[in-house]
Structure 1
Amino acid sequence: MSDVQRESMEYDVVIVGGGPAGLSAAIRLKQLDENLEVVLLEKGSEVGAHILSGAVLDPCGLDALIPDWKEKGAPLNTPVKEDNFYMMGEAGQVRIPNFPMPPLMNNHGNYIVSMANVCRWMAEQAEALGVEIFPGMACSEVIYGENGEVRGVVAGEFGKEADGSQGPGYEPGMELLGKYVFLAEGVRGSLSKEVIAKYDLQAGKEPQKFGIGMKEIWEIDPAKHKEGTVTHTMGWPLNSNAGGGSFIYHIENNQVYVGFVVHLNYQNPHLYPYMEFQRFKHHPMVAKLLEGGKRVAYGARAISEGGYQSMCKMVAPGVALLGCSVGMVNVPRIKGNHNAMLSGKAAAEAAFEAIKAERQGDELSDYETEVRTGAIGQDLKKVRNVKPMWSKWGLTASLAMGGLDMWTNTLGFSLFGTMSHGKNDAQSTGSAAAHKPIDYPKPDGKLSFDRLTNVSFSFTNHEESQPAHLKLSDENIPISVNLRQFDEPAQRYCPAGVYEVVSEEGKEPKFVINFQNCVHCKTCDIKDPSQNITWTVPQGGDGPNYPNM
C-alpha cells in the first residue's frame, strides 16, 4: 500500500474492464438483484475505445444474457452469408472445401460485428439497469485486505510527472472497494498478472500462449464488396517462419476488416509481424480486393491462444478473473467473445449467490466450476490440441491431425489426449545468430504502410509528461543481452514502433521507449525474451481511440 491518502467508496462488486466479459457480469448482477451496488471501471476514454477484435460473433453469449437483443437494437447487423478458407502461396491460392471441416467451424448463424460498438451498446444496457460506469479510470493498484484477500482497486490517479513524482495537478485517485472484485482487463492485464503471480494461479496449468493480431478497416470499391462474406487464409507470407493467418470480413457500408495474426511462439527473432501483415496485402487475391480503396483505421492487440489446458485458476480470495484475463479463445474458430460473455454471466451468478448468503472476500469456486464444466469448457476442450499440434508439427500436418482430433472430440474422445504447449512464447525465441534475417519490401503507401503512419489511424494519444507505463526491470538488458543475443526483437515485434535501438557513431547503442505510440497490445510483456518489460496502465483515457474496431 502507498502512503497517499485516498477517499474510498464501497460497492458489492467492483469490475475492472469494459469489454464483453466485464459488461456481461455487470448486466447479469443487476438482472439478478437491482439493489446490488455495481461499479465498472474502464481505462479507455469511453467504453469501446480500447476494444479491438476480428470479429465474427457467435451470439450464444448474448442469447444467454439478453435474449431480446435484436429488439433492443444490438449492433449485430451483418449475418455471415459465405465462408471461405484458402491456403496461400506467393502467387496464388487454393480454396479448402468446407465439407470436411468439423461442424464447429461453420459460421452459419454468426454475425460480423464491431466489438467496440457491441460493447458501447452493452454499456447502455448496463447503465439502464443502474450500473455505475466510469470511463477514463485506469486501475493502477490492487488493494488487499487484512487476511490477504483482494479488497478493491485504486482508480483515477492523474498528474504524475515523468519521474514519478506528484505534479502540481496531481489527483490521488480513489479506492473502490467491493465484497468481490472482477478483473476483466483482457489479455495480459496488469492487475490480473499481479494476482495470478501473487496467488500462483498458473500452478499445475500449461503456460498461456499468445498471438499478435493486427487489423485495418478499409473502404473498398462497391463492385468488389460482398457483405456477409468471411474469408480466412493460412500459409504465405508466414510459411514455416511462424504460425498464424489472416481474416477478411465484409461488413456494412462497403467496408472490410482486414486482419493478420502471428503466433508469438516464433523462433526467428528477425521476424517482423507488422511487416508480414503489410506484405500479405500485396498477395494478388488481397491486392485485387483493396486496390482503389482506402484504409480508415488500424489497431493491434494480443490474443490468448493457450486454450483449455492453459486456463489459470480463475478465483482467489475476493477476486475472480474473467474472459481473456483467463484465456477463453477457441483458436480454430478465432472466437472468444461469446465465452467472455458467458464467463461474465457465470461470475455474476456466483457472486450473487455468495452475497445473498452474506459471504464476501472468499473464493467464488462455483464460478470456476461452471466455466470448466459448462458451455465454455465444452467449447474449448474440443479444440484443445489444435494449437499445440500447430506449434509442434507445423501447418500442413496440424491441419490434418487437428481436423481429425476436432471430429473425434465431437464424439466425446480424443486420440491424442491433452497435448502440452511446452515453452512459453518468450522462451521460444531463438538467437539471432541461429536464424537468417528477413528482407521485407518497403511499404508502397497505397496497400502497405509504415508503422508510424498506421499508428496515426489508431488515434492513439498519451499525455507525454506522465511516467512511461512500460517498465524495464533492468535498463541494461535491452542492449547488453537482447541486442547481442537476439538483435533486440522489441524493434520488430511491437506493432506500434514503441521500441527503438538508436546508434550514434562512437557511442554505445541506446534503447528508446516511445510510450506515446503504445496501442496497449501488450506484446512486449509477452514476447520479450528476457521477460524484462512489464506493461502497466497509463493514466486514464490515454491510449488508442478505436472507432469501429
Structure 2
Amino acid sequence: MEREAMEFDVVIVGGGPSGLAAAIRLKTLAAETGHDLSVCVLEKGSEVGAHILSGAVIETRALDELIPDWRDRGAPLDTPAGKDRFLFLTEKRHVTLPAPPQMHNAGNYIVSLGNVCRWLAEQAEALEVEIYPGFAAAEVLYHPDGSVKGVATGDMGVGKDGAPTANHEPGVELHARQTIFAEGCRGSLTKGLMERFDLRKGVQPQTYGIGIKELWEVEAAKHAPGLIEHTIGWPVPRDVYGGSFQYHFGDRLVAVGFVIGLDYTNPYLSPFDEFQRFKTHPSIRPTFEGGRRIAYGARALAEGGWQSLPRLTFPGGALVGDTAGFLNVPKIKGTHTAMKSGMLAAEAVFEHLKAERDGSVSGYQEAVASSWLGKELKAVRNIRPSFKWGLWGGLTYSALEAYVFRGAMPWTLGHHEDHAALKPAAECTPIDYPKPDGTLTFDRLSSVYLSNTNHEEDQPCHLTLKDAGVPVGVNLATFAGPEARFCPAGVYEFVDDPAAGGQRLQINFQNCVHCKTCDIKDPTQNINWVVPQGGDGPNYPNM
C-alpha cells in the first residue's frame, strides 16, 4: 500500500525537552516576525512524557529564556532545591564530603521531567505546533541529491514474520524543508545519519552511562522536601565510574537511582543488581523502610561531553539534545543544555528557511560554541574522562580542575568505545549478588511491571541481531553472556537448548524499556536497536 505523505516546514523527531524547546522557539520566532511556519513533532511514546526518564533536578536557565513567564503559566516546578549532601560510601559507613561547585543546586528545582515535558507540549500546542504521539519515526527519507527529505513512521499491524496482518496500516511519510532529530540518547535514526554523513569524523568516541531509577513514596517523617543527596563509592569497585542520587519532592516522593558508566570492564557486573544492593547500605536503607516503591525505569546517558559532540548539521537536518550528547556530567544535569541546543538549532533553522536556502543549516554549530552552553561543556570536558584513573585519581583531578584551573586547561582528555572495554570472563571475578527481598530490593520482572511497559507481541522483534550465531559463539563463550546482566529489564536470557546441545539466546523484547544499553554495551556490536510499533514501550508516570 502506498504511504500517505504530509508536508511541513520543520519536522522534529522526539518530544523530549530539546525537541519541544526547538518547536516552541521556532513558532515563537515565526509569530514575532509574521512568518507562517508549520512545525510537527513526532513522539514514539504513547503520549508526550511516556518515555521520559531523568533524576531530575532542573536548572531553569534555558526555560527562563524560552518561556520567561513559566511560573505564571503553571509549569510543574514545585519543589525548590534545598540542602545538598555528597557522601562517600564504604560498605558499612559513609563520609560526608564537600559538594563540588558544579553540584550546588541553589535556585534549581526537583521535578518529574516527564511532567515538565507534558507541560512543554501544552505550550507548543498553544502555538499551533502539531504533536503526534504514538508514531515512531522508523526511516529517514532522502532526496535524490542525498539530502534529508524527512522521515517515515513505521507500519502498524505487521506480524512476527514481517508480513502484514489483517490490521495492517502503512506508515506515513513526513516531508520537511528541515528535519530536527531529538531522539534522545543513542537515537536509532541518528546512528544511521552519523554513518551516512560521517558526523563523528575528528571527534572523540561517545561514552555512555546507564541510569536506573525508582520512585518511592516514603513515610512522612523521613521525607525532606528539597533534599538532594548524591553518593560515590560502594557498592561499585573503585575502577567503575558510578554513583547514586536521592531527590525528595512532591507529596512524600523520593526519586532514587544509580548511574554506572558503561565503560566498566568486568562482564559479570550487573548495573541493576548494583543499584538494588546500594539500597541496603545502612545510611540509605532507613529512608525506604516502611515506604512503597511505585515506579521503575532505566535510560542510557551520553556522557562524552564537549569532545564527543558530532557535527550537528547535514543537508536537510540537525541534531539536538542527548542524541548529540549535551549532558553536563559533573553537574549531573542535561535538561537545560538539551533545551538550549534545541533553541539554538531552531534559531539557525528559522534563519535558513526565512532566507530560502538549500542544503545544511549554517551557524548552529558556531552558535553552540559561543553560547553559555558551549562554554559550560568545554569548561568541564576533562572531568568524566579523568576517572579512567580510578575513583581517587578522578576525584583528585576534578578538584584541581574545579578549584585551580577553573575549566581553563590547555589540554583535552579522550574517551574510548564502551563496548570495547569488557575483558574476557576468564580474566574477571564473578560477582555474587544477594537475592531480592521483595521489600527493599527487587527482581527485574517485578520492576518492569512498574514501568507499565507494553509491546504488541505479534510484531517483529525490535532488538535485531546482525549475526544470530554471535551471542552464543562469542558473547557467551568469551564474555559469559553479559547481555543477561547489562540489560535492566530481563530482555536477554540464555536458556538451555537440548536440540543444539547447549544454550541459546532468548530475547524477551516485550520487557524492553528502551534504555538502549544493549545497543551500546554489546561487546561485538551485534545488537541493533530499532523502533518497535509506535506507542509501544514504557509508560512512565511522574518520572
TM-score in same-fold range (> 0.5): yes
Counterpart of 1:77, as a letter, is: D
How far off is 1:173 after superposition? 1.2
Aligned residue in 1 for 2:150: 152
Amino acid at match of 1:380: L
Q: 2:370, 2:445 → 1: CA distance?
A: 45
Match of 2:48 in 1: 47
Residue 382 (str. 1) matches residue 379 (str. 2): yes
* Cα contact 2:103–2:332 (8 A) shared by 1: no
CA RMSD, aligned part only? 1.1
- What's the offset of the Cα at 1:505? 5.3
Tell me the residue number matched to 1:141: 139
Matches within 5 A, 1:326-405: 326-360=324-358, 362-390=359-387, 392-405=388-401
Amino acid aligned to 1:450: D
Deviation (angstroms), 1:239? 2.4
Per the alignment, in what secondary structure is the counterpart of residue 265 of structure 2? coil
Please state if 1:13 is matched with 2:6. no
CA distance in 1 between counterparts of 2:481 and 2:103 reads 38
Rounded to whole Å, the distance in 1 between the matches of 2:166 and 2:405 is 61
Residues 1:441 and 2:434 are matched in the alignment = yes
What residue in structure 2 maps to residue 273 of structure 1? 271
- Secondary structure in 2 matching 1:394: helix
| Runs of 5+ unmatched residues, structure 1 | none
* Aligned 1:211-360 pairs, distance under 5 A: 211-240=209-238, 242-360=240-358
SS in 2 for 1:534: strand
Q: Deviations over 1:196-216 (max 9, x none)?
A: 111110110000000000000
Residue 409 of structure 1: how far off its partner (Å): 4.6
SS at 1:179 equivalent: strand
Q: Give the conservation status (yes or no) of the 8 Å contact 1:382–1:409.
A: no
CA distance in 2, matches of 1:134, 1:110: 31
**TM-score (ref. length: structure 2):** 0.98
1:502 is paired with a residue whose SS is strand
Aligned pair partner of 2:172 in 174, 188, 196: 174
Task: Determine the C-alpha separation between the residues in 2 that align with 1:260 and 1:403.
Answer: 22
Whether the 8 Å CA contact 2:239–2:390 is kept in 1: the answer is no
1:452-480 CA-partner distances (Å, limit 9, x unpaired): 01110000000000000011000000000
* Distance in 2 (alpha carbons) for counterparts of 1:336 and 1:97: 22
Distance 1:408 1:39 in 2: 46
Q: Does 1:523 align with 2:521?
A: no
* SS state at 1:349 partner: helix
The Cα shift of 1:241 comes to: 5.0
Letter in structure 2 aligned against 1:517: N
AA aligned opposite 2:226: G
Residue of structure 1 aligned with 2:408, choices 404, 409, 413: 413
Residue 249 of structure 1 contacts residue 258 of structure 1 at CA under 8 Å; is this kept in 2? yes
Within 2, Cα distance between the matches of 1:123 and 1:54?
Answer: 20
TM-score by length of 1: 0.97
Q: Across the two proteins, how many residue pairs are aligned to each other?
A: 538
Amino acid at match of 1:120: R
For residues 251 and 300 of structure 1, the distance between their equivalents in structure 2, rounded to whole angstroms, comes to 20
CA contact (8 A) 1:42 1:133 kept: yes
In 1: Cα distance, 2:437 partner to 2:78 partner? 34
2:476 matched to 1:480?
no
Look up the match of 2:529.
Answer: 535
- The percent identity for this pair of structures is 55
**CA drift at 1:156:** 4.8
The Cα of 1:496 is off from its aligned counterpart by 0.2
1:504 Cα shift? 4.4
Residue deviations 1:63-101 (CA, integer Å, cap 9, x gap): 110011001110000111110000001101000024xx3
SS in 2 for 1:18: coil
Shift of 1:365: 2.6
1:533 and 1:295 mapped to 2: Cα distance?
Answer: 31
1:245, 1:262 within 8 Å by CA — same for their partners in 2? yes
Partner of 2:78: 77
Letter in 1 for 2:84: D
> What is the one-letter code of the residue matched to 1:487?
A
* Aligned partner letter, 2:364: Y
Structure 2 residue 84 is matched with structure 1 residue 89:
no
Give 1:447's aligned amino acid.
L
Map 1:498-513 onto structure 2 (within 5 A). Answer: 498-504=491-497, 507-513=501-507
Asked if the contact 1:138–1:157 (Cα under 8 Å) also holds between the matched residues in 2, the reply is no
Give the SS at the match of 2:471. Answer: helix
Whether the 8 Å CA contact 1:241–1:268 is kept in 2: the answer is no
Deviation, structure 1 residue 371: 1.3
157-166 or 430-439, which moves further after superposition? Answer: 157-166
